[in-house]
Amino acid sequence: MENSEFHNKQENKTFPTAEKFLLADQVNYAEGSVVSKIIVRNHQGNITLFAFDKGEFLSEHAAPFNALVVALDGKGLVTIAGRPFELTAGESIILPAGVPHAVNATERFKMMLVMIKDGETNK
């Protein structure tokens, strides 16, 4: 039986389907860097994996859609509208649309970001 795969045309990368895998293993840490890897992107939204070296961050910004952050490894500080939330592996938080947020790696930190666009907003 052949393994099927999901092909993300924008990134020209292939990911296995109908096969188990660990999300945290799909993105690697790099010294002094934030590494991101888009695993799904289409007109409805995207799923992106991030690996932050200790001390690295995403500066404060806002997005037009709600997003879900799922911590996969390590420890990070997610700040939403100035309020800090420490996340460790297995914990999640919603980033509300239009509200400033930032991510800081207090240790090496991996996370998945899921953003689904609002169909009403796209019309």
Measured between alpha carbons, how far is 91 from 93 in angstroms, rounded to an integer? 7
Q: pLDDT tens digits for 57-83?
A: 999 999 999 999 999 999 999 999 999
- Dihedral sign, Cα of residue 94, residue 95, residue 101, residue 107: positive
pLDDT above 60 for 9: no
Q: pLDDT tens digits for 11-47?
A: 445 666 788 889 999 999 999 999 999 999 999 999 9
Phi, psi of 26 (to 5 degrees): -90, -5
Domains of the chain, CATH where assigned: 5-116 (2.60.120.10)
User: Which residues in 72-111 are b (16+ Cβ under 10 Å) and which e?
Assistant: bbbbbebebeeeeeebeeeeebebeeeeebebbbbebbbb
Report how far Cα 13 is from the mean position of its chain's Cα atoms.
Answer: 17
pLDDT of residue 75: 98
Measured between alpha carbons, how far is 36 from 43 in angstroms, rounded to an integer? 19
